[in-house]
Amino acid sequence: MEVHPTRLELLRLRRRKALADGIADILQKDLETLIISLIEFRQKAAAFKTQLHEKMNHAYSSYMEGEMIAGAITTRELSMSAQTQNLDVEVGAAKGVLGLPISIFHLTKQKDEGIATRLNILDTPFQLVEAASEIEEALNFIAKLAELMATIREILEMISLKRRQINRIRFKIIPQLDATIRYVELILEEIERQDAIRVRVLQRKRKERALKTA
CATH code for the structural domain at 7-203: 1.10.287.3240
Summarize pLDDT for 107-132 with one digit per residue, the tens: 887 665 555 445 555 567 778 888 88
pTM of the model: 0.76
List the chain domain ranges: 7-203
At residue 40, does pLDDT exceed 90?
A: yes
pLDDT given at position 116: 47
Question: Which range has highest mean pLDDT (18-22, 70-74, 199-203)?
Answer: 18-22
Percent of the chain beyond pLDDT 70? Answer: 91
pLDDT of 121? 54
Mean pLDDT for all residues in the chain: 86
* Over residues 48-63, mean pLDDT: 91
pLDDT at residue 71 tops 90: no
- Find the range with the poorest average confidence among 28-42, 106-120, 149-163, 185-199: 106-120
Q: Which among 148, 143, 129 has a CA at the least distance from the CA of 47? A: 148
52 close to 138: Cβ distance less than 8 angstroms:
yes
Higher pLDDT, 52 or 74: 52
Work out the average pLDDT over 146-173: 95
How confident is the model at residue 118, as a pLDDT? 53
